[in-house]
Structure 1
Amino acid sequence: MMTLHPKIIDLTLDRVDRLLAALDHPEHRLPPVIHVAGTNGKGSTLAMIRAGLEGAGLRAHVYTSPHLARFHERIRLAGDLIAEDHLTALLDEVIAANGPASITFFEATTCAAFLAFSRVPADYLLLEVGLGGRVDATNVIDRPALTVITPVSIDHQQYLGETLAAIAGEKAGILKRGVPCVVGPQAPEALEVIEARAARLGAPLLVHGQHWHCFAEAGRMVFQDENGLLDLPLPNLPGPHQIDNAGAALAALRALDRGVAEAAVTRAEWPARMQRLRHGPLVEAAGPGIELWLDGGHNPAGGGAVAATLSAMPPRATHLICGMLNTKDVTGYMRPLAPHVASLTAVSIPGEAATLPADETRDAARRAGIEAESAETVIGALTAIRTRDPAARVLICGSLYLAGQVLRENG
């Protein structure tokens, strides 16, 4: 499939529209769609919406990207991960329909997902944008039930633009005429762009800080909108930033008048987002005294979210094992982490052509004010940290691609 287009990413809808037409338009035979865009928090917000819907006994299809350990994680059919043989058959069908025409990997797999979703009954489809929004392959749904834009920040500038306003314009491309949109916390310049597009389209907005509020209070979480107040447990996904994600999920569920609020915040599952690793070979190698965590955040906002999470955890010397891609603002990611960590051990990401060499990640950490060294492997880094500090908190971080490698290695 990769031979059918020379670029991994090439944002346009022309090829997707052509292929969907050849497949007899499965995108027209989908359950109500909740379309989610944003820079950070898309996956967590989507996971909470799913948990709320399933808590009410509803069935949800889910499409997310990228995967962590195995490709089929991207597609859930009425709650269950798609079977490998089913996915293979769908991809064969898509490739046959496409023929020799140009198509990217993400475009082809998105069309395969739409085929699957069109053939299995469900109450909703939770659809995560791959990159941007306006010309992302998922943006072929003429009238979703609801759109959601989570916080917009600087990332993927080579595809989406150099300014926050330009990036917000790409994300706001999922807005549709007359369709409500839940908007998470935004910088003023991003919100201005979203509001201007919504006004042009007559799309009602439900904006954080205006139409809904969500905050922690006395060890609980409070959500409030025009329909009243909800007093709920704190989200089971760790980190203060998950309060905002939970708020967006609850605002979405309330806009749909569906779902169970408490299930949304207590039953969500989303791996590699400040995930505590408790079992597996890496945990055994770390030894009983080490507290081992995994996070896939990779941009400055992601670094800020991890820093806020660490600052809210019980005091403990924290050491990072970090691998990043060469397309990211590495120092920007590390700068907010510097006050909260004792050291960083840099690694390259195995099998990733775009990995930043470990020594360059180490040097970026030092520029950010973090004591840093490099290691050949994650297990080597973990062994060195355990030798220095056998009671440490260790966070493996910097990339979803590294997180995926770790989850595969850890079984």
Structure 2
Amino acid sequence: MDHPEAKLAPLIHVAGTNGKGSTSSMIRAMLEEHGRNIDAYHSPHLVRFHERILINGRPISEQHLVAALEHMLARNDGAPITFFEATTATAFHAFEQFGTADHVLLEVGLGGRLDATNIVPGPGISVITRISRDHMEYLGEDILGIADEKYGIARPERPLIIGPQRPDVAEHLYQKAKSDGLTFFAHGRDFEQADHMYHDAHGALDLSVTHLAGTHQWENAATACAAIRLGLGIHDLNLCNPAILQAGLANTHWPARLQDITKSCNEKLGTTFPHVLLDCGHNEDAGRVMANHMNSLGGNCAMILGLQPHKDAPGYLAHVAPYLDQLIQVPADVGLPVNDMAHHVPNRKLAHWEEAVRLVQKEKPQTPLVLCGSLYLSGLILKRIG
């Protein structure tokens, strides 16, 4: 393909277990508020494949996507290739051919060190969001080993931003960055976040302007602000303007992250729930975030949970169980079985999420409803309710 990855605009490379998508979307929105053109690569998509590849901030057109896919397939000439590798190569070609970006933002698919996105050379920044246990079948059980995989995106030519981490992970990443002689900016050392307030050498910033639900989004916003003010701001102090950054945070939209879908769900499905929440989180840390939010709703929620078969159901449910009035487990996607990992939370298992919604409507029509557990399930729901 004549190395399209070597011809891209300066890179913003984002790895981590939780918050990659939200942090990436915040970075993109804040840079766009500064008048920058951003090409971006996210995965997986929710409703349409085109969401994975953004050209100048908008999903790639059908015409350009088909052209890029055909080019990739012709150059690959039938050689073995994974779906993610093919998608990544297609994105790089699309950025080269159709984009006019000031920055290219890449969200790691899995891990970091061996990820297909980790082939791009040149200037930019690397960002690591919160690390926890997920994809253990590929990354292992050891949290510091998982951190090593995420750290694999770090490059000597790019400043590294280390977002909030549990203490042992934070210390591990700091020591690796020091040992490798990297320029890096770390939470707790170079920037702070206390509730909705962010602080760094340039001053304070109020993060409460973001419309993304959950106090954990302040943490993601702090990491995004550090990426711009400290990482990119090394070479461009114009990026440190708090009013412009706050406008970008206020304009950030990222579906299926504690998303309120009450109106659409009740209208499309004929339900009467007082509150319907959609979230794609699927690991123990996501369970902790969900529990905090369910507590803010007063608890006693009905939950329809669609975790993939290999996901840590006991770890997720350990946090949300005290706030559950009813639990129904469903498949995370068409053709998948229901997650059958053993846990102690009373539950029922049904074959389809919409069947579960109808059951909750029949038995507990005035109970807050939480639909959660998978990006794939979230995509099915968003497609159904428009």
Normalising by the smaller structure, the TM-score range is: over 0.9
Question: How much does 1:286 deviate?
Answer: 4.8
Question: How much does 1:59 deviate?
Answer: 1.2
Note the alpha carbon deviations across 1:162-217, whole angstroms, 9 max, x for none.
2001000000000001421111111233223322331233212211122111122x
Corresponding residue number in structure 2 for 1:322: 305
Question: How much does 1:330 deviate?
Answer: 0.9
Matched, 1:264 2:248: yes
- Structure 2 gaps of 5+ residues are 234-238
Counterpart Cα distance in 2 of 1:374 and 1:140: 42
Matched, 1:381 2:353: no
Corresponding residue number in structure 2 for 1:338: 321
Answer yes or no: is the 8 Å Cα contact 2:123–2:157 preserved in 1: no
Note the alpha carbon deviations across 1:134-183, whole angstroms, 9 max, x for none.
01000012234111000110111121122001000000000001421111
Q: Which amino acid aligns with 1:319?
A: A
Corresponding residue number in structure 2 for 1:36: 14
The alpha-carbon distance between structure 1 residues 199 and 178, as it changes in their structure 2 partners (threshold 3 A), is: farther
Corresponding residue number in structure 1 for 2:2: 24
Question: How much does 1:350 deviate?
Answer: 4.0
Matched, 1:392 2:376: no
Counterpart Cα distance in 2 of 1:192 and 1:214: 18
Counterpart Cα distance in 2 of 1:192 and 1:314: 35
Corresponding residue number in structure 1 for 2:173: 194
Q: Which amino acid aligns with 2:139?
A: L
Counterpart Cα distance in 2 of 1:122 and 1:278: 37
Corresponding residue number in structure 1 for 2:283: 299
The alpha-carbon distance between structure 1 residues 390 and 249, as it changes in their structure 2 partners (threshold 3 A), is: same
| Aligned ranges 1:105-116 → 2 under 5 Å | 105-116=83-94
Identity across aligned pairs (percent)?
A: 40
Answer yes or no: is the 8 Å Cα contact 1:222–1:232 preserved in 2: yes
Q: Secondary structure at the match of 2:252?
A: coil
Q: Which amino acid aligns with 1:61?
A: D
Matched, 1:54 2:37: no
Counterpart Cα distance in 1 of 2:152 and 2:299: 43
Counterpart Cα distance in 2 of 1:352 and 1:129: 26
The alpha-carbon distance between structure 1 residues 356 and 388, as it changes in their structure 2 partners (threshold 3 A), is: closer
Corresponding residue number in structure 2 for 1:8: none
Counterpart Cα distance in 1 of 2:176 and 2:58: 36
Counterpart Cα distance in 1 of 2:69 and 2:227: 32
Answer yes or no: is the 8 Å Cα contact 1:236–1:268 preserved in 2: yes
Matched, 1:349 2:349: no
Q: 1:250 aligns with which of 213, 218, 225?
A: 225
Deviates more, 1:372-381 or 1:317-326: 372-381
The alpha-carbon distance between structure 1 residues 166 and 196, as it changes in their structure 2 partners (threshold 3 A), is: same
Question: How much does 1:282 deviate?
Answer: 5.8
- Structure 1 gaps of 5+ residues are 1-22
Question: How much does 1:36 deviate?
Answer: 0.1
Corresponding residue number in structure 1 for 2:269: 285
The alpha-carbon distance between structure 1 residues 283 and 168, as it changes in their structure 2 partners (threshold 3 A), is: farther
Answer yes or no: is the 8 Å Cα contact 1:316–1:392 preserved in 2: no
Matched, 1:102 2:80: yes
The alpha-carbon distance between structure 1 residues 232 and 328, as it changes in their structure 2 partners (threshold 3 A), is: closer
The alpha-carbon distance between structure 1 residues 350 and 160, as it changes in their structure 2 partners (threshold 3 A), is: closer
Counterpart Cα distance in 2 of 1:250 and 1:124: 16
Q: Which amino acid aligns with 1:284?
A: K
Question: How much does 1:231 deviate?
Answer: 3.0
For the aligned residue pairs, the C-alpha RMSD in angstroms reads 1.8
Counterpart Cα distance in 2 of 1:170 and 1:320: 33
Matched, 1:204 2:186: no
Question: How much does 1:40 deviate?
Answer: 0.3
Deviates more, 1:139-148 or 1:37-46: 139-148
Matched, 1:71 2:54: no
Counterpart Cα distance in 1 of 2:42 and 2:28: 12
Q: Which amino acid aligns with 1:238?
A: A
Question: How much does 1:394 deviate?
Answer: 0.5
Counterpart Cα distance in 2 of 1:298 and 1:236: 22
